[in-house]
Amino acid sequence: MKTHPLKLVTIIGEAVLADRLLREIRKLGAKGHTLTTVEGQGSRGVRASEWEGKNVKIETLVSEEVADAILHVLSEHYFANFAVVAYVHDVGVVRGEKYV
Partner 1 sequence: MSALELIQLNLLTPVVLAFFLGMAATLLRSDLKMPDELYQGLSIYLLLAIGLKGGVELSAAAPREFLIPAGGAVLLGLAVPLWCYALLRKIGRLTVADSAALAAHYGSVSAVTFLATLAFLAALGVPHEGFMPALLAIMEVPAIVVALLLARSRVPERTPWRELAREILTGKSILLLAGGLLIGLITGREGFAKVEGFFVTPFQGVLALFLLEMGMVAARRFGDLRKVGWFLVGFGIVMPLLHGALGIYVGKWCGLSMGGSMILGVLAASASYIAAPAAVRLSLPQANPTYYLTASLAITFPFNLTFGIPLYYAFARFAYGV
Query: What are the residues facing 57 on neighbouring strands?
Result: 12, 36
Is residue 27 involved in binding partner 1 (CB under 8 A)? no
Using the rule CB under 8 A, give the single segment among 1-9, 12-20, 60-68, 92-100 that binds partner 1: 12-20
Between 48 and 91, name the residue whose CB sits nearer to partner 1.
Answer: 48
> Distances from the Cα of 30 to the Cαs of 38, 53, 70, 94, in angstroms?
22, 25, 9, 17
Is residue 48 involved in binding partner 1 (CB under 8 A)? yes
CB of 15 to partner 1, least distance (A): 9
CB of 9 to partner 1, least distance (A): 21
Between 20 and 72, name the residue whose CB sits nearer to partner 1.
Answer: 20
Answer yes or no: are the C-beta atoms of 92 and 5 closer than 8 Å: yes
